[in-house]
Structure 1
Amino acid sequence: MKNRTNVRWLTQLALLVAILLVMNYTPLGYLQVGPLSASLLSVPVAIGAMTMGPLAGAILGAAFGITSFLQAMEGKSLLSAAMFNANPAGTFVVCVVSRVLVGLCAALLFKALCKALPKQEKFCCFAGGLLTAVLNTVFFMGALVLLFYDLPYVQEAAQSMGATNALMFVVMFVGVQAVIEWIICCLVAGAVALPVRKFLKLN
């Protein structure tokens, strides 16, 4: 029984990683808005975190982060290229470490939410999707500001937007695209995670 459970867990994880990679290499994964890419890769991370737990959430977050880091190496966006050229190790922290924390924390918060609201699984699933996207924005932009706020490219962007401090820069920089990410992840991840969790309970 344990072996069967492990095989199913690994199969589900592999499927979600595959979906994440397909999204990364197709227009489904990213929406280019200004100098920053609005990422939808938090959706499979959220689904894995809610249906498979903290370890799966962390692994999927790592997969998400590695794809983002590879894009920085390839210079896919002006911001990530500037970050990588200035500090490759710092870029790894922003892209990968922050996303591992997203998957891990999303799973732990979802677990706590389900424990606090045991009869509200539907609400918890949609809230979990929203939490994952919000955590992605907070951790990514938080790490970016901590490690790269003094980067000339970032300072030029802040000045061009009229941002007088780091918080204003974050709000103005992500703006509408962050809200779009949150809404999509909330709706899609919540709608998928709910029936998957019910199926797993029955099997």
Structure 2
Amino acid sequence: MKTKKLSTKQLTVLGLMIAVLVLMSYTPLGYLNIGPLAITFNMIPVAIAAIACGPLGGAVLGAVFGLTSFGQCIGIGGVSAMGATLFSISPILAFIQRFVPRFLDGWLLGYLFRWLRKVTKNTTLAGYITGFLSAFLNTVFFMVALVVLFGNTDYVKNLIGGRNIIVFICAFVGVNAICEMISATILTGVISVALKKARLILQEEK
């Protein structure tokens, strides 16, 4: 099946979500720093773009999120303690670890929403599930990239502390991930209802 081109209204939504994401990234609205990790709400505009504009929209917002996240490794828009440490170890790997998970997440969300809407026959339910998945996949991809790219470094070995990798990831993200999933599920779901009413969700051509 082919996908329709983005309409002017959808391009407007995409631009608005980019602006919202940048604003959130450079103000306390996007991050709540707790220890080495931060609770981030930046996946919400990524999920909204994926719902309204499909995989392309999700990928664009995911890329913007990834770039702003990497910026925090070098003090742009705030400082991430973990990001700064990873950057000091390897700037290239730090960029990959910060950028790729967010880009991949946004891109996949566009396809996941499309599939969920087709399977459930319910756009609203698909929107809520997509919101949950935006935070869930962001956490999974981010932590897997951390372990794969930096698992042999003393910094990550000290964080793991000899624990099983799965146990480490669950314990490390803990409350942060739960807060992200709850907020992303509720807000993305509510906004997806508004997008549906405004007919701003990209439709597929049969």
Is the TM value for this pair above 0.5? yes
Which residue is equivalent to 2:108? 105
Letter in 2 for 1:63: V
The answer to whether the 8 Å contact 1:79/1:153 transfers is: no
Percentage of identical aligned residues: 40
Structure 1 residue corresponding to 2:84, chosen from 81, 85, 88: 81
Q: CA deviation at 1:201?
A: 5.8
Whole-Å separation in 2 of the counterparts to 1:125 and 1:48: 11
Residue by residue, what CA displacement relative to the aligned partner does 1:154-178 show, whole Å, maximum 9, x if unpaired?
222222xxx5122121111111110
Whether 1:117 and 2:117 are equivalent positions in the alignment is no
Q: Counterpart of 2:181 in structure 1: which amino acid?
A: W
CA distance in 2: counterparts of 1:12 and 1:109, whole angstroms? 19
Match of 1:13?
14
Separation in 2 of the partners of 1:150 and 1:43?
32
Instruction: Name the residue aligned to 2:93.
Output: 90
Contact kept? 1:30, 1:39, Cα under 8 Å: yes
Whole-Å Cα distance in 2 between the matches of residues 144 and 157 of structure 1?
11
Displacement of 1:5 in angstroms is 5.4
The Cα shift of 1:197 comes to: 2.3
Change (3 A) 1:165 1:201: closer
Corresponding residue for 2:40?
Answer: 39
Question: Where does residue 48 of structure 1 map in the other structure?
Answer: 49
Inter-CA distance 82–8: structure 2 relative to 1 (3 Å threshold): same
Q: Secondary structure at the match of 1:53?
A: helix
Q: Number of residues paired by the alignment?
A: 195
- Indicate how the Cα distance of structure 1 residues 201 and 106 shifts in structure 2: closer, same or farther if over 3 A, else same: closer
Instruction: Tell me the alpha carbon deviations over residues 66-122 of structure 1, each in whole angstroms, 9 at most, x when there is no partner.
Output: 00000012281221111111111111111111111000111111110111111x222
Distance between the aligned counterparts of 1:89 and 1:166, measured in 2?
24
Which residue number corresponds to residue 196 of structure 1?
195
Structure 1 residues 201 and 65: alpha-carbon distance in aligned structure 2, compared to 1, 3 A threshold: closer
CA apart distance, 1:190: 0.9
Q: Which has the higher helix share?
A: 1
Q: How does 1:162-173 map to 2 (within 5 A)?
A: 163-173=162-172
What does residue 57 of structure 1 align with?
Answer: 58
Structure 1 residues 134 and 5, CA gap change in structure 2 (3 angstroms)? closer
- On the 8 A contact 1:149/1:166 being kept in 2, the answer is no
1:70 matched residue in structure 2: 71
* TM-score calculated relative to the size of structure 2: 0.89
The answer to whether the 8 A contact 1:106-1:135 is kept is no
Q: Unaligned 5+ residue runs, structure 1? A: none
Shift >4 Å, 4+ stretches: none
Q: 2:114, 2:180 → 1: CA distance?
A: 22
| Counterpart among 125, 135, 138 of residue 136 in structure 1 | 138
Q: Tell me the distance in 1 between the aligned counterparts of 2:21 and 2:96.
A: 20
The structure with higher relative contact order (CA 8 Å, sep 6+) is 2
Contact 2:101 2:138 in 1 (8 A): yes
